[in-house]
Structure 1
């Protein structure tokens, strides 16, 4: 699955939105205890007043000819199949939320899981929105209704959810479901009898209460914070942001084509990628990486849709062999059961940057291969640091990266990407 932005999609027709409606009086539905990720996310949503959403664009030949009622039913089936997609945030009292986004402080709220019968999807007349990203962002507010956008532009089907509901792997799972529903062709099968998201969270909470180990925390996080002087570090080059966020510039590019792939990157892509970044920058590079917590192939939660991601620290060294990055990645796996909430409280970590400098990697070749015609998209807000998404498909290694749009980065980032591409190509 390509990782890109809405700006780069080739949409050749007006957008037909399928608006999600929720029944009234829903706060009596089962209450959910939000995780640390969810609470942090909602704090940011209320403060910043905009959705952080993830989505997919799936090009399906002939989708433009599918009756709206049939396509709407496909969207409804997605909601019915996954409880995480039916969560919604409700105010503690009816006056707490004055708009889809509350932009001063976090009001008292509760989270409830709605029943499929509470939700309906209505096809609206197709139009050409002045700003498709803004349209998606508005629809993806999870306040009083699940945060979802469903749409169609010609043969391209668009599905997006607020991050409150999903992570990147969730969108890959949903892309596979959509493809099967719209094409009638089977892809690589996912595990049957997948537990619901709520069940997974309940099981994790029971285990997490007994997995805190100060020794393990010191080995994983203590050494990291000792290296960073107790901070969650930003990008190790002054980007000229001057302590404020800027509109995000971005790059989407192929770093290595399948024909250029070499044995070193092929054998251990993520350690090689992180180490290549360190070599290009000429320094040790501490950063955070998202850790998907679904477990290995065959684990019960491997195909559960929901936000199942933690964070882990990694340090890459500008060395010939990626030994340092490999060591830190092994530590990350060992420490993935540690509560990030307890970690931050224990070490009193400081956040000097508004944006966490991070790098992620998804190998779609190990997830049943690419979904034909699928692209991963997401929102893009102001930033003051760098976020990198590395991915591997049958066509090679790709990079999507966003960073603050400053005078410095306009010159530095193209050179950085070119150097990174050359560095990887030379790994023979």
Structure 2
């Protein structure tokens, strides 16, 4: 899986086919509130759309009928893709759509990658919205020899794991409808739960005691930072309460062989590759200030039940960890491996309950300093990612802090990062990311 941003996405020229989703029945008002993540997203300041998109290649020109059938089957299968949100006098309301319809837009042909990229970005910004019935865009780039299926969704309805699921299922469904127009011979997909049921369960907040050791760990972490999420420790040239255009960086940190060597180093330290990259980050981020620790939030998926393994939705929570920098990589790695294992247990505490016991967060920034790690080799459809040139594409919006997404594939480890596009931010992040590459390469020598 290639994890990138829309400003770096360069599909080959062709004819863009597009479908938008319209209600096929009267929307039903749902009593299920937005999840914790959805609520945070829906209440964010107005600005550019925050959407996630996925794309993959198929042989030959697009069969519009087969692709439309595949899109419809995907929407029917996942309730998360058939609900929307409206804002009214009572707050934010979830609406359910038992049926949805696809409306094909006019085809558009382009001669350059830049023209297609700009067209897709405008269409995604238009149709992948937080509020209203327009939450996704389904499309394809039609070419004689090899075409691309591409679709995007407002972040309220999907996470990174979901994009991998969508790519795998659309490829499966489209291939099936191509082979058999009736769809009767398509191998059934795994049973999935409905993300709305997950949200309903999450709304019943477990009354975890303030004396629970996991709760105490959460509270200690946040109180050390004045009851707010931590900020990236290096100067990005932006003051709290302001934001600027986002700048992105996508770089290949380690190839497959070096990644395997890093995995062996981490295994000998009784920990994971994720602990390894966190340790390298801390050593680079803490060196200028000589800090001992780098506090950061780590997103982790909550698909703990088989019911959710192939479900589309925003199945993530965050866990806190103070990553030790240290002067010796291996010593810090051993310590951070244990801290990461302990931190993962804190994901069992509902974030809504943490905020309740804390008395509210006092966040000074819109973005949260976080570091994500996804091993795409373990996600649905991973065996096809290379052959079909699978992509995860995110929008470029505004930023007031730094965020990092590490992805491991058969090709090694890649890092996508976003940060405020200021002169100080550019200088700081160029130095930090170069140092990070150096530290990781040194760790496997």
TM-score (norm: length of structure 1): 0.87
Per the alignment, residue 299 of structure 2 pairs with 290
Matches within 5 A, 1:68-147: 68-92=64-88, 108-116=91-99, 118-128=100-110, 130-147=118-135
Indicate conservation of the 8 Å contact 2:15/2:107, yes or no. Answer: no
Separation (CA, whole Å) in 1 of partners of 2:299 and 2:309: 16
Q: 1:144 to 1:218 in 2, by over 3 A?
A: closer
Separation (CA, whole Å) in 2 of partners of 1:408 and 1:190: 53
Matched residue of 2:231: which SS? Answer: coil
Q: 1:190 to 1:393 in 2, by over 3 A?
A: farther
TM-score (norm: length of structure 2): 0.83
Given the alignment, which residue of 343, 346, 369 partners 1:335? 346
Q: CA RMSD in A?
A: 2.5
Indicate conservation of the 8 Å contact 1:60/1:182, yes or no. Answer: no
Q: 1:146 to 1:264 in 2, by over 3 A?
A: farther
> Is 1:246 the counterpart of 2:254 in the alignment?
no
Task: Answer with 378-387 or 390-399: which moved more.
Answer: 378-387
Matched residue of 1:112: which SS? Answer: strand
Separation (CA, whole Å) in 1 of partners of 2:410 and 2:313: 26
Q: 1:213 to 1:121 in 2, by over 3 A?
A: farther
Separation (CA, whole Å) in 2 of partners of 1:38 and 1:171: 17
Matches within 5 A, 1:106-255: 108-116=91-99, 118-128=100-110, 130-154=118-142, 155-184=147-176, 192-206=190-204, 208-212=205-209, 214-243=211-240, 244-255=242-253
Per-residue CA distance 1:104-148 (angstroms, 9 max, x = gap): xxx7342122113x3223242225564532320210114331500
Indicate conservation of the 8 Å contact 2:235/2:428, yes or no. Answer: no
Matched residue of 2:244: which SS? Answer: coil
Separation (CA, whole Å) in 1 of partners of 2:416 and 2:339: 23
Where does structure 1 lack aligned partners over 5 or more consecutive residues? 97-106
Where does structure 2 lack aligned partners over 5 or more consecutive residues? 179-186
Q: Which runs of 4+ in 1 moved over 6 A?
A: none
Q: 1:211 to 1:230 in 2, by over 3 A?
A: closer
> Is 1:360 the counterpart of 2:369 in the alignment?
no
Q: 1:158 to 1:354 in 2, by over 3 A?
A: same
Indicate conservation of the 8 Å contact 1:285/1:317, yes or no. Answer: yes
> Is 1:16 the counterpart of 2:17 in the alignment?
yes
Separation (CA, whole Å) in 2 of partners of 1:345 and 1:91: 24
Per the TM alignment, residue 217 of structure 1 is displaced from its structure 2 partner at its CA by 3.9
Task: Answer with 390-399 or 51-60: which moved more.
Answer: 51-60
Per-residue CA distance 1:227-281 (angstroms, 9 max, x = gap): 3243211110111113321111111111100022212257611111011011112
Q: 1:240 to 1:204 in 2, by over 3 A?
A: closer
Separation (CA, whole Å) in 2 of partners of 1:239 and 1:277: 16
Separation (CA, whole Å) in 2 of partners of 1:150 and 1:335: 37
Task: Answer with 396-405 or 122-131: which moved more.
Answer: 122-131
Per the TM alignment, residue 177 of structure 1 is displaced from its structure 2 partner at its CA by 0.5
Separation (CA, whole Å) in 2 of partners of 1:214 and 1:146: 44
